[in-house]
Amino acid sequence: MLRRARDTEMQHAESFLARNSARALLFLNHFRIRSAFARLPRQLSETPRLPINRMVARFCYLHARDCLDDAGQIVEKRVNSETDTLRPVDAFGRVLSVTGSQAQVRFPVGGADDLRATVGNFLGIRADAALVIGVITKIAVEPKSGAGLAREEFAVGALDMLGEIKGNDGGEPFFQRGVTEYPMIGDAVSVITQRELKLIFDMSGPGTIDIGTLQQDQSIHAYINVDDMVRKHFAVFGTTGVGKSSGVAVLVRQILDARPDLRVFLIDPHNEYGHCFDDRAQAMSPKNLKLPFWLFNFEEIVDVFFRGRPGVDEEVEILSEVIPIAKVMFQPTNGASTRRLVRNDPKSSGVTVDTPVPYRLEDLIRLIDERMGKLENRAMWAKYHRLITRIETARNDPRYGFMFDNANVGGDTMVETLATLFRLPPDGMPMTIMQLAGFPAEVVDSVVSVLLRMAFEFGLWSDGAFPLLCVCEEAHRYAPSDRTVGFGPTRKAVSRIAKEGRKYGVFLGLITQRPAELDATIISQCSTLFAMRMANDRDQAIVRSAVSDAAGSLIGFVPSLGTREVFAFGEGVALPTRLRFKQLDAAYIPHSQAVTRANMDSAKGVDVGFLVSVVERWRGATMSGQTRSRPGLGGDDEFGDLDMIAGSEFSKVAGAAPALAPAAPSPVASSIRKSATNPESFFFPVEDGKPRLRR
């Protein structure tokens, strides 16, 4: 074939002496082409010269964008937005096979002109009308033995194809995800340069944020499309100590800079982020939070009254009947500050057990007491008295002051509560940090459920007028994958934001160190994932299943990532990318305030006065202003024997009444949920007004 082309060239060479004639290159002097290729590294020296050979034909039939210089050297017009110069082809490998998302490439190992290639490097494959971009995920040395192989040693690598660089109608290059021009066997493979990397990853503009640098080239900044990341939810995964909290601080700080109109609500279980955002965030804690108890729905208030335990059947039924009546009873008069009691039917007024309207605990207790007084059989008094005791115990607990202060005064403060929680108007502070470390552990799940539910419903009923980003640290605690643990309403609130929130301007950011323990359905709703170092196989498998790109094999790099290094996947990034988060100033690095205040110098003597002050603070946290003492109570399960207390108090009131028949114990009343209340053991009201047990 080449000999015949050479003979043709000797006869017609004079007709191809015109310079700069790109279209005439389809019928070039083959002798000059052959001489030019002789100076290039020989890639497939022992390939049989068959009549139809893509590897040879590829060299002979050039694109209109390629040409020869005056010296006869093949040059290629690179896809480059910064310059229009021509430079030699730097191919160092060839395509061996192609599948839907991956190509097998082959290149020599060793030699003076060897180009280094290893896993994680980006390569380009010159297809017909595009430069296909891929990343090496696997590489191995090809054995020397076998017929038809070259004498030198070769390496074979797996290249995951992620996108391509093409030219638009005006000739300007652009990058797009996905592959439309698949390479063919024998197409050239080359290492993409800094210019191609900038074309792919340099998305700087008003809609992007700069969060760090690329691992392959630290002179190139890593940009994220803030709207695609926030509006379609995102998640950050990583084990403890890899810089996960610092990465979240970088993301949120950049989001606040790029979108000052966006409200951010951060749930901070360990009080780490209070100092990370200057004066742009307000920190809420039990000391300054006012969250009225009547904003809790029925499931949440039951969880509060029963201290994180499943509700007792009879008592839950009583609550479901009297709470709507108490809400109807409390109605402020028109134009007056006083209130009047109205004995209306809840069904006729439209008020349900979950309607967020005020009511007073005094009215609730009075209704329960009245029902108890109407009972003919005094043996039925016990369940009513136990319920009253539970309510009064929660109301008198100083740790619950953030929700029960002014519980008997009343007043509709829902507007003020929403304005404080979600920064409306922001007044220069568009962010709220909800510090949960000071809340009673048994009601943390209920509090998170109320906050996230209110965030979603505010977006729902305001038609998304004020976009809100809810960032949830330790997300696996509130939406666990195991439905036998956790608090059902909290999982429901998180799931509702993940599935429907973006329709109403409520967005979600999840942070967890155990993605395997987080509900997989919620993870699947996050379009942008940041995977930091994780060693657990289950965690890696969950992340791999959530990655929609053809680069799922990149999860194999996750166990070897360094501190602050992260793999970014999804809609917010141009390509699945290994990058390094920015280094924060020391003043902005998240850390627990309690740990930083602790003195770790073991050589320092312990002052007894200091221990005395610790004990006083410890006791004062569970005591009100008045001195209270109940003998026989103590330990972690302070209210564990509440039925016994209620029975003993009731016996004093009953006097000479006949012996009380003990209430039938509930099969779940004595069990404590593992991390929160078991949602399957709750009673819920139905259409006929009677609660039923959800199975």
User: What gap in Å lies between CA 322 and CA 318, rounded to an integer?
Assistant: 6
pLDDT for position 90? 58
Count Cβ atoms below 10 Å from residue 429 Cβ, excluding itself.
15
Asked if residue 190 lies in contact with residue 156, where contact means CB atoms within 8 angstroms, the answer is no
Asked if residue 507 lies in contact with residue 233, where contact means CB atoms within 8 angstroms, the answer is yes
What are 353's two structure tokens? 């057990």
pLDDT for position 309? 87
pLDDT for position 317? 93
Asked if residue 155 lies in contact with residue 93, where contact means CB atoms within 8 angstroms, the answer is no
Three-state SS at 130:
coil
Average pLDDT over every residue of 424-441:
91
What are 155's two structure tokens? 């390496």
User: What gap in Å lies between CA 201 and CA 533, rounded to an integer?
Assistant: 22
For residue range 667-683, list pLDDT tens digits in order. Answer: 433 344 444 333 333 33
User: What gap in Å lies between CA 77 and CA 114, rounded to an integer?
Assistant: 23
User: What gap in Å lies between CA 444 and CA 438, rounded to an integer?
Assistant: 9
pLDDT for position 169? 76
- Of 301-305, 372-376, 562-566, least confident by mean pLDDT is 372-376
What are 286's two structure tokens? 């039990």
Confidence of residue 505 (pLDDT cuts 50, 70, 90): very high
Whether 576 has a pLDDT exceeding 90, the answer reads: no
**Tokens 């906050």, residue located:** 451
Residue 136 has φ and ψ, to the nearest 5°, of: -75, 125
- Of 16-20, 273-277, 499-503, 580-584, least confident by mean pLDDT is 16-20
Among 448, 520, 450, smallest CA distance to 481 is for 520
Count Cβ atoms below 10 Å from residue 143 Cβ, excluding itself.
10
Whether 77 has a pLDDT exceeding 70, the answer reads: no
User: What gap in Å lies between CA 592 and CA 471, rounded to an integer?
Assistant: 18
Count Cβ atoms below 10 Å from residue 590 Cβ, excluding itself.
21
Among 264, 558, 300, smallest CA distance to 432 is for 264
Residue 65 gets which letter from DSSP?
T
Average pLDDT over every residue of 368-391:
86
Of 327 and 68, the one with more pLDDT: 327
Among 271, 638, 299, smallest CA distance to 445 is for 299
Whether 686 has a pLDDT exceeding 60, the answer reads: no
H-run or E-run covering 559: none
Whether 550 has a pLDDT exceeding 70, the answer reads: no
pLDDT for position 19? 43
- Of 79-93, 286-300, 553-567, 601-615, least confident by mean pLDDT is 79-93
Confidence of residue 427 (pLDDT cuts 50, 70, 90): confident
Among 122, 236, 271, smallest CA distance to 581 is for 236
Average pLDDT over every residue of 446-471:
94
- Regarding beta strands 131-142 and 154-167, do their DSSP bridges make them parallel or antiparallel, or are they unpaired? antiparallel
Of 281 and 69, the one with more pLDDT: 281
Where do the H-state alpha helices sit in 463-573? Answer: 488-500, 520-523, 537-546
Average pLDDT over every residue of 232-251:
93
**Tokens 């115990």, residue located:** 393
Among 381, 388, 387, 369, smallest CA distance to 658 is for 381
Average pLDDT over every residue of 660-673:
40
Residues of the chain with CATH 3.40.50.300: 224-275+285-290+413-581
Sign of CA dihedral 61, 62, 67, 69: negative
Q: Which residues contact 272 (CB under 8 A, 6 or more apart)?
A: 245, 473, 590, 591, 592, 593
Asked if residue 683 lies in contact with residue 689, where contact means CB atoms within 8 angstroms, the answer is no
Average pLDDT over every residue of 512-536:
91
User: What gap in Å lies between CA 677 and CA 671, rounded to an integer?
Assistant: 10
For residue range 239-248, list pLDDT tens digits in order. Answer: 988 999 999 9
Whether 623 has a pLDDT exceeding 70, the answer reads: no
Average pLDDT over every residue of 29-33:
39
H-run or E-run covering 260: none
Of 155 and 606, the one with more pLDDT: 155
Average pLDDT over every residue of 23-46:
40
Highest mean pLDDT among 202-216, 491-505, 618-632: 491-505
Where do the H-state alpha helices sit in 462-604? Answer: 488-500, 520-523, 537-546, 593-597
For residue range 581-593, list pLDDT tens digits in order. Answer: 999 999 899 987 6
What are 578's two structure tokens? 């290994």
Confidence of residue 630 (pLDDT cuts 50, 70, 90): very low
Residue 496 gets which letter from DSSP?
H
pLDDT for position 51? 39
Fold of 224-275+285-290+413-581: Rossmann fold (3.40.50)
Q: Which residues contact 508 (CB under 8 A, 6 or more apart)?
A: 233, 234, 469, 470, 472, 494, 497, 498, 501, 525, 526
Asked if residue 678 lies in contact with residue 487, where contact means CB atoms within 8 angstroms, the answer is no
Of 361 and 34, the one with more pLDDT: 361
Does the model's pTM come out above 0.95?
no
Average pLDDT over every residue of 493-502:
94
pLDDT for position 120? 80
Among 74, 92, 62, smallest CA distance to 36 is for 74
Question: Nearest 5°: CA angle at 113, between 95 and 216?
Answer: 70
Sheet of 66-68, strand order: 66-68, 74-77, 86-88
Count Cβ atoms below 10 Å from residue 657 Cβ, excluding itself.
12
Confidence of residue 110 (pLDDT cuts 50, 70, 90): low
Burial tier of 160 (Cβ tally within 10 Å: 0-12, 13-18, 19+): buried
Q: Which residues pair with 126 in a beta bridge?
A: 131
pLDDT for position 289? 92
**Tokens 């009601």, residue located:** 443
Asked if residue 68 lies in contact with residue 36, where contact means CB atoms within 8 angstroms, the answer is yes
Average pLDDT over every residue of 357-365:
91
Of 29 and 466, the one with more pLDDT: 466
Of 617 and 541, the one with more pLDDT: 541
User: What gap in Å lies between CA 224 and CA 330, rounded to an integer?
Assistant: 51
Task: Note the residue count of the chain.
Answer: 695
Whether 653 has a pLDDT exceeding 50, the answer reads: no
pLDDT for position 548? 61
Average pLDDT over every residue of 352-375:
90
Confidence of residue 426 (pLDDT cuts 50, 70, 90): confident
In the predicted model, what is the mean pLDDT of the chain? Answer: 75
Asked if residue 588 lies in contact with residue 272, where contact means CB atoms within 8 angstroms, the answer is no
pLDDT for position 166? 86
Average pLDDT over every residue of 245-259:
94
pLDDT for position 176? 86
Average pLDDT over every residue of 296-323:
91
- Of 183-192, 231-240, 322-331, 646-655, least confident by mean pLDDT is 646-655
Asked if residue 245 lies in contact with residue 266, where contact means CB atoms within 8 angstroms, the answer is no
Three-state SS at 259:
coil
Three-state SS at 331:
strand
What are 258's two structure tokens? 């790029």
pLDDT for position 622? 61
Whether 155 has a pLDDT exceeding 70, the answer reads: yes
- Of 92-101, 118-127, 604-613, least confident by mean pLDDT is 604-613
**Tokens 């640290």, residue located:** 473
Whether 388 has a pLDDT exceeding 90, the answer reads: yes
Average pLDDT over every residue of 361-381:
86
Average pLDDT over every residue of 478-496:
90
